[in-house]
Amino acid sequence: MVISSPAKQFLQGKKLNKIEQNKAFKDGLDVGDELENFAQLGWEQVDKTDLELRLKWYGMFWRPKTPGKFMLRLRIPNGVLNSHQIKVVASIVGRYGEDGSCDITTRQNLQLRGVLLSDLPEILKRLEEAGLNTIQSGFDNPRNVTGNPLAGIDPLEIVDTRPYTTELQNFLTNQGKGNHEFSNLPRKWNTAVAGARDNFLLHNDIIFHPVEHDGVMGFGVWLGGILSSQMNDYALPLNAWVKPNEICRLTGTILTLWRDNGERNNRPKGRFRMYLDSVGIEAFRTMVVEKFGPLTPDPGSVFEDKPRSFYGIHPQKQTGLHYAGMHVPVGRLNAEDLQDLASASLNYGSGEIRLTEDQNIILVGLSTTNLDKFQADPLLQRFPLEPGSIAAGTVSCTGNTYCSFALTNTKDQAMAMAHELDAELILPEEIKVHWTGCPNSCGQAYMGAIGLTGTKARAPNGGQGMVEAYDLSLEGRQGPDAQIGTLHRKGIPGSELKDVLRELLIERFGAQPRSQPKQNS
């Protein structure tokens, strides 16, 4: 086995699965010099492994469902976008007509659809000019760094997470140029920084949670959150506290330990959490200390408050300014939507938008004098400030329109279900319903009060063959009494799902049938 670069000596002597062999033979970042050539050749002529694997290091995902029309995943640390960036994304998506669209992802990020390989070099250039990036956003790389969506405007914030999410992104990606130190990890790596007591991010591989020690603000460190087909669990405390200027070095230390020692043969066992469990958190802490130096014990970083709902208009910490939480049904936007949102952010706010992990948006910097005009804008019919309780908490992964792992059409079904159930039921509060099209759990099913994981089941009522179905989990929670959901029922055929959900919502979540079904607009 030829190992491509001296930096990859950590692979020497290890048993490598097929994917690892391909990564070792040629690093994903190495296709960077070939993008112009690929664009000219066309996808049919590009080496299959470069096309289907290595292009992901540049955010470009081959879609077997739509051959030749790629998905392009950006990196948007902390989910902060300005109106110019939104317009650039709109114009990229817009050129692909019906094929072009954009999804807000469960990592506070955007993915563009319909992208042609011939356009990639020019698109990357335009994104870079706008201060956006796609580098190492997929596969065995450090993913988009998430933070408090209200960073810098949050009346309840402990620290503004933006400088830290940006610093971490720059560290992990070598200022967006691509970082060979972390371009060949055993699997993906998720980083997050909390900024307020209710920022719940324990599903990430590393979480920095703000807490003071001896009057100095720093971060408690939590490790090993995972949602996957193999296991679902929240992060464990490392019992370590670091100063803000140490977060990158600590992340680098931990990443290097896992990169060098993690599983490279049995791919499902390659995730950081499996490595952490195999070593044990205490022993791992000792390994970190050996490389990093002494660690201060965590003075008590805990996730104290239940996550807030962002919907509606709320005061910012800046007097006279407000933010507006708007619902984007299952996070899907087209070019016109993006243009309209960019215009609204300029007309009413400071020209900035935030993306949330729940696949919604927050408009920032609305002055009191603009609120009436804003509330009368027809845009709010598309992206309401007060969606129904079920729509409000609905999160969905991509599903079978574009994802070849998907066993179900999550986004369309999630949207239709929320619409119908909100029309029939009144709930006392917003409820988290997380839909995911397969056990990979991109839609974070086990974090939801109700989690729906796509599967196949026998057709009901003696029908022929297999049909789309869902495994249903319950009682996933974020906040102080956090817990991962537990499986409640397996294989509910799609045609029976609505009745099952309706009954559960009434019995367990205090839903009341409306006397007259609500007329949804």
Region class of 439: left (phi > 0), else alpha (psi between -120 and 50), else beta: alpha
Amino acid letter for position 58:
Y
Active-site annotation, residues: 73, 187-188, 437, 442-443
- From 168, 145, 158, 301, select the one nearest 237 (Cα to Cα): 301
Q: Report CA torsion sign: 284, 287, 288, 293.
A: positive
**Minimal distance, residue 82 CB to ligand SRM, in Å:** 19
136 binds ligand SRM (CB under 6 A): no
403 binds ligand SRM (CB under 6 A): yes
253 binds ligand SF4 (CB under 6 A): no
Q: Report CA torsion sign: 109, 377, 393, 63.
A: negative
**Minimal distance, residue 443 CB to ligand SF4, in Å:** 6
Give me the helices (H) in 157-202, please.
162-173
Among 20, 103, 154, 157, binds ligand SRM (CB under 6 A): 103
- From 357, 368, 356, select the one nearest 315 (Cα to Cα): 368
Q: Which is nearer to ligand SRM, 187 or 259 (CB)?
A: 187
Site size for ligand SF4 (CB under 6 A): 13
440 binds ligand SF4 (CB under 6 A): yes
**Minimal distance, residue 420 CB to ligand SF4, in Å:** 22
Stretch that binds ligand SRM, among 5-13, 16-24, 227-235, 344-352 (CB under 6 A): 227-235
436 binds ligand SF4 (CB under 6 A): yes
Choose the contact partner of 278 out of ligand SRM, ligand SF4, none; CB within 5 to 8 A by kind.
Answer: none
257 binds ligand SF4 (CB under 6 A): no
Residues 44-83 vs ligand SRM: string with x where CB under 6 A?
-----------------x-x-------x-x----------
438 binds ligand SF4 (CB under 6 A): yes
110 binds ligand SF4 (CB under 6 A): no
354 binds ligand SRM (CB under 6 A): no
Other residues' Cβ atoms within 10 Å of the Cβ of residue 220:
24
**Minimal distance, residue 243 CB to ligand SF4, in Å:** 36
Stretch that binds ligand SF4, among 114-122, 207-215, 343-351, 430-438 (CB under 6 A): 430-438
Cα–Cα distance, 56 to 260 (Å, whole number): 22
Within 171-200, the residues that bind ligand SRM by CB under 6 A are 187-188, 190
Distance of CA 233 to the CA centre of its chain: 16
Q: Per residue, what are the HEC states of 307-350?
A: CCCCEEEEECCCCCEEEEEECCHHHEECHHHHHHHHHHHHHHCC
106 binds ligand SF4 (CB under 6 A): no
**Minimal distance, residue 165 CB to ligand SF4, in Å:** 23
Judge whether 466 and 457 are in contact, CB under 8 Å: yes
Choose the contact partner of 436 out of ligand SF4, ligand SRM, none; CB within 5 to 8 A by kind.
Answer: ligand SF4
144 binds ligand SRM (CB under 6 A): yes
Cα–Cα distance, 78 to 32 (Å, whole number): 26
441 binds ligand SRM (CB under 6 A): yes
DSSP structural state of residue 298: P
Rounded to a whole number of angstroms, the CA Rg of the chain reads 23
- From 46, 41, 105, select the one nearest 73 (Cα to Cα): 105
Q: How many helices (H) and strands (E) would you count in the chain?
A: 15, 23
Q: CB-based burial of residue 66 (10 Å sphere; 0-12 exposed, 13-18 middle, 19+ buried)?
A: middle
Judge whether 28 and 139 are in contact, CB under 8 Å: yes
Within 441-460, the residues that bind ligand SF4 by CB under 6 A are 441-443
Choose the contact partner of 437 out of ligand SF4, ligand SRM, none; CB within 5 to 8 A by kind.
Answer: ligand SF4
469 binds ligand SF4 (CB under 6 A): no
Within 381-420, the residues that bind ligand SF4 by CB under 6 A are 397-399, 403, 405-406
Cα–Cα distance, 248 to 332 (Å, whole number): 33
**Minimal distance, residue 402 CB to ligand SF4, in Å:** 8
Among 136, 316, 398, 455, binds ligand SRM (CB under 6 A): 398
Cα–Cα distance, 362 to 369 (Å, whole number): 18
Stretch that binds ligand SRM, among 12-20, 362-370, 400-408, 474-482 (CB under 6 A): 400-408
Cα–Cα distance, 391 to 516 (Å, whole number): 19
Among 275, 402, 435, 446, binds ligand SRM (CB under 6 A): 402
Which pair of tokens denotes residue 172?
A: 């992990």
Q: Measure the CA dihedral 385/387/390/393, to 10°.
A: -20
Region class of 139: left (phi > 0), else alpha (psi between -120 and 50), else beta: left
DSSP per position, 257-292: HHHHHS-SSSGGG-SHHHHHHHH-HHHHHHHHHHHH
111 binds ligand SF4 (CB under 6 A): no
**Minimal distance, residue 456 CB to ligand SRM, in Å:** 18
440 binds ligand SRM (CB under 6 A): yes
102 binds ligand SF4 (CB under 6 A): no
Cα–Cα distance, 46 to 40 (Å, whole number): 10
397 binds ligand SRM (CB under 6 A): yes
Please report, as ranges, the residues that interact with ligand SF4 according to CB under 6 A: 397-399, 403, 405-406, 436-438, 440-443
Please report, as ranges, the residues that interact with ligand SRM according to CB under 6 A: 61, 63, 71, 73, 103, 105-107, 109, 111, 137-138, 143-144, 187-188, 190, 203, 226-230, 271, 397-398, 402-405, 440-442, 444
